[in-house]
Structure 1
Amino acid sequence: MPENAAAIVIDIGTTNCKVACFSRRDASRLDERKFVTPKITSPTGNVDFDIDALWQQVVATMRSLIAATDCPVTHISIASFGESGVFLDEAGNILTPMLAWYDRRGEEYLATLTEADSQRLYQITGLPLHSNYSAFKMRWLLDNYALRGRHGLRWLHAPEVLLWRLTGAQRTDTTLASRTLCLDLQQGSWSAQAADILQLPLDAFAPLLAPGEVAGWVTPACREALGLNQPVCVTLAGHDHMVGARALQLQTGEVLNSTGTTEGILLLQPQPLLNEQARRDKLANGRYSRDNHFTLFASLPVGGFALEWVSSTFRLSREEIDAALVQATQRYLADEWQPEGLPLFIPHLRGSGSPYKNRHTRGLMYGLSDTLPHDELLLTVLLGLTMEFANCFTCFAVPAGPALKVIGPATRNPLWLQLKADSLARTVEAIAFDEAVSVGALLIACTDVPPPEVRVAQRYQPDPQRSRALQRYQQRWQAFYQFKLQQEGVISPINQENCHVESNRYREK
């Protein structure tokens, strides 16, 4: 390897795509370009990713980066969101649109599966039933594009389409395969039984690749089009959540909290968790980008979006939000608040997360008055996010000890992180790390590149007195939470009793 060799990393995101050029000597970023992920939205609100436009923009961006660097590019690595893909025929023609991973077409098929089907699929794939997974998109496309019974079909996810066009190879990465509902998680192979339950053609799935394995080599025609003068290998880095964890050098038993518009919780473990409680809590298992490692994942539909909602709903400027956060932080740290005196906020603005994941639930705020100051409003909202997060975190049964590692915009919100530390009675670490997905994709493809330092920008330690006050607040919050979900038909009185037990178990920890 030349000492000054470079690698191109493609990060296909839901909102934006990033294409970066990294030095293989020290993982430093030489250059980067961003563009909006191309989408097609129908008049009825259905969303497709425009895979042809994406390909054209990726090629143009790579060509620009390659021309701007003096280093020879030897590797291309691709990370992406999961679930979205297309069907190809034997001649390589794309037959279907690429449904966005969050698009709800295919949801109708959930009702065709029995409880026994759900249990069996969880044992095989480690995934709870949800329309986001590739299987339901595949089934919808097969039925709506008259592909049933057609021979020679091939299913490729978004990054795999780019791989195919760059190299001619049709392969699937195991971390993306574990988001299809058709991968035997423990065996690491496609499951004929899962495909049969879901009425999908098993032979449509592409051969699987081990994490970091070279997926193919850029064809001479593509090399010429991109301005490459030497052989270049291509790697499928995989599902972006797993790729980002790789950049942070996450170890077994550690928990990552990724924040943004939504929130995610990811636990790295040596074995999948496939018991009935995990299925009921709708925890998603997955293959990790290191052999013999698995992830346990859950997401919350609302994270930082709650602050945007406050700003727009209550007509607060960015300056007013920032000033209120500073004042709320000072009051909270000085114990100048009363758990019984604040309103209650349940942040189901876009549905609820685990353990009662349901997109139809709605938010609730109780206790508003015309004299509520801005700082108490912001503290109420962040407390609601923290209580919802604590509910979800409890499902993971993480033993005491490991710190919660946080990345994303929440690292710039000290009050939010201190609330998490106090509510969980656990150290919270704000990780200062930019572009974790891009760096993770680089490390997966180029194993000889030294990983950059993972720096803890701030540690938040739990305070026993504040933790006790939050427990009192949580008791009030849980009562409204359970009542609301019962009114919405999400939980029954029996579930409600179990929820009390889980809440008590959390407080005992």
Structure 2
Amino acid sequence: MSVSKDIIIALDEGTTNAKAVALDAKGHVVASFSRALAIQTPHEGWVEQSAQLLVEASLEVVARAIATVGVDRVAALAISNQRETVVGWYRATGKPIAPALSWQCSRTAAFCHQLRENGNGPHIKAVTGLPVAPLFSASKMRWLLDNTPRGAELAATGEICLGTVDSWLLWQLTQGEAFCCDYANAARTQLMSLHTADWDPEMLALFGIPRAALPTIKPSSGLFGYTRGCPSIPDGLPVMAMIGDSHAALFAHGLGAEGCVKATYGTGSSVMAPVASARCDVSALATTVAWHDGETLVYGLEGNIPHTGDAVAWMADSTGLSELSQAELAHELNTLPRSVDSTLGVYFVPALTGLGAPWWDENARGMIHGLSRGVKRAHLIRAALESITYQIADVIQAMRVHPGFTLNALMVDGGPTKNDWLMQYQADLLGCPVMRSDVAELSAMGAALLARKALFNLTTSQLRQYLPEHVTFSPDMARHARLQTRWQAWQETVALLRK
């Protein structure tokens, strides 16, 4: 590898933005480009995106990053992606069969309910580590086949491909020469056995997904293929890492150090802790693959929350704050909760398309509880922000059941973490330090680190020099004791919602 080829470009394809980040030999961000992505909700509970626009936006930002740093400096590409979102496409043309079904989409709730009614839930959890929920990819793949002419037939012969976003982007970057996904993304489909680390025949049969339609599973760090035939992107660039965005963020926080639990605050949130085994006995949480670094398969214990930043966005829209500029909105979200001492007894449970971990109730719908005449916009905004911290605390409470789980610090990232009030409230609620990475490109950085590991044959410990600094919010333990009463009241409000 030429020393002049020092740049890794990481494509971070998220729910609301496609971002390309160029990182140099020291792991520093030297260029970043993003393009907004639209979300469609054609029916209640349905959430989808244009699969074609996901590709167009992704290729555009990668091309801009390459043009900025110069192709002669680009050593490799890496991909981090929104997880569980599913794309189906025709193998012959590479054209999607339908919109991409978002991870937030709950259109398969009835199918998942039937699986639970039939008693399949415990076995699915034992094999895949995942509870039965519309969040995961398998039921979405089944829906696509059921709603595509000759869908099952074409999938059985391999004429229809089904994949998570990483495999869809890789297919397009390589013009169909590579049809792969990584272990972390495969583990989110509900079709991979944690115990064999391969597509599971029983799960494929249960969900009606032919193996011929699925990608090859590979380590997160390693060669996936080479670019070919993409406008403004040179042929021959190696794709050296693929991984789900939440997993990539955990890797970039601390390379999987024990006791460092990660929470990504975005549209929704992922709370993930590295664990040593594939034990699946915490029913409220998912056991998953955190990553495969090319040498070792690392497991993760995870809770997924559909509406965290999304809850604040909904409340901002409902109270008129969304009319402000982004800078003005950020200022208001930081100052409004400080301007009042409490929410005046208001609790907002943002089950806008159902509840995720640890409740797993896709039929639940949102509630604003405890309204009184004195409640103003500041109280409602504070209630929305508090709801993020309570949901994350609920997941961590469930994690404590897992043998060997420890919490030394909560490592956080994502847009909402820029809100200092929110971070301090989270630290005080949990009673442990909250360590914020102010690197906006943390998921991209994690993917780039995995690519660098494979490119230069590094050990995981050798990557430590590239890790970003963190800002620490230390807990006020006196306030921690007081907040336990509010957290209990929150849980009682959730219980009301589920009656």
Q: How many residues align?
A: 467
| Structure 1 position 182, deviation (Å) | 0.8
The aligned residue for residue 471 of structure 2 is: 457
Fraction of identical pairs, as percent: 22
The aligned residue for residue 9 of structure 1 is: 10
Q: Which amino acid aligns with 1:52?
A: Q
The aligned residue for residue 135 of structure 2 is: 132
Residue 27 in structure 1 maps to residue 32 in structure 2: no
The aligned residue for residue 295 of structure 1 is: 300
The aligned residue for residue 440 of structure 1 is: 446
Gap change, CA 1:394 and 1:76, over 3 Å in 2: same
Q: Which amino acid aligns with 1:155?
A: L
Residue 359 in structure 1 maps to residue 353 in structure 2: no
| Structure 1 position 3, deviation (Å) | 2.3
2:336 to 308, 321, 324: 324
CA offsets 1:70-121 (integer angstroms, 9 cap, x no match): 4432211122112334445553554612432233343332244245321111
3-state secondary structure, aligned to 2:97? coil
The aligned residue for residue 214 of structure 2 is: 205
The aligned residue for residue 153 of structure 2 is: 149
Alignment of 1:74-473 (within 5 A): 74-89=75-90, 91-94=92-95, 96-101=97-102, 102-113=104-115, 114-145=117-148, 146-150=150-154, 151-153=157-159, 154-167=161-174, 168-219=177-228, 221-222=229-230, 225-226=231-232, 228=234, 231-249=236-254, 250-275=256-281, 278-279=282-283, 281-290=284-293, 291-315=296-320, 318=329, 321-328=333-340, 342-350=344-352, 351-372=354-375, 379-397=382-400, 401-447=407-453, 448=456, 451-463=465-477, 465-473=478-486
The aligned residue for residue 55 of structure 1 is: 55
**2:348–2:367: 8 Å Cα contact kept in structure 1?**
yes
- Distance between the aligned counterparts of 2:297 and 2:367, measured in 1? 42
* Higher deviation after alignment, 83-92 or 69-78: 83-92
**2:45–2:105: 8 Å Cα contact kept in structure 1?**
no
- Distance between the aligned counterparts of 2:388 and 2:68, measured in 1? 44
Gap change, CA 1:126 and 1:142, over 3 Å in 2: same
3-state secondary structure, aligned to 2:75? strand
**2:9–2:22: 8 Å Cα contact kept in structure 1?**
yes
Gap change, CA 1:313 and 1:215, over 3 Å in 2: closer
- Distance between the aligned counterparts of 1:190 and 1:163, measured in 2? 19
Q: Point out where structure 1 has 5 or more consecutive residues left out of the alignment.
A: 332-336, 487-509
Gap change, CA 1:217 and 1:459, over 3 Å in 2: same
| Structure 1 position 189, deviation (Å) | 1.0
3-state secondary structure, aligned to 2:224? strand
- Distance between the aligned counterparts of 1:164 and 1:380, measured in 2? 43
Q: Which amino acid aligns with 1:10?
A: L
Q: Which amino acid aligns with 1:353?
A: G
Gap change, CA 1:253 and 1:270, over 3 Å in 2: farther
**1:242–1:289: 8 Å Cα contact kept in structure 2?**
no
| Structure 1 position 402, deviation (Å) | 0.9
3-state secondary structure, aligned to 1:149? helix
Q: Which amino acid aligns with 1:192?
A: P
- Distance between the aligned counterparts of 1:227 and 1:379, measured in 2? 45
| Structure 1 position 159, deviation (Å) | 2.6
Query: Root-mean-square deviation (CA), in Å?
Result: 3.1
CA offsets 1:1-43 (integer angstroms, 9 cap, x no match): 22231222211111110123332x2122232221123667658
3-state secondary structure, aligned to 2:22? strand
Q: Which amino acid aligns with 1:452?
A: Y
Gap change, CA 1:51 and 1:263, over 3 Å in 2: closer
| Structure 1 position 129, deviation (Å) | 0.9
Q: Which amino acid aligns with 1:403?
A: A
CA offsets 1:128-175 (integer angstroms, 9 cap, x no match): 111232211221222222222331333233332332233312222111
> Normalising by the residue count of structure 1, what TM-score does the alignment of the two structures yield?
0.81
- Distance between the aligned counterparts of 2:391 and 2:248, measured in 1? 26
Gap change, CA 1:111 and 1:320, over 3 Å in 2: closer
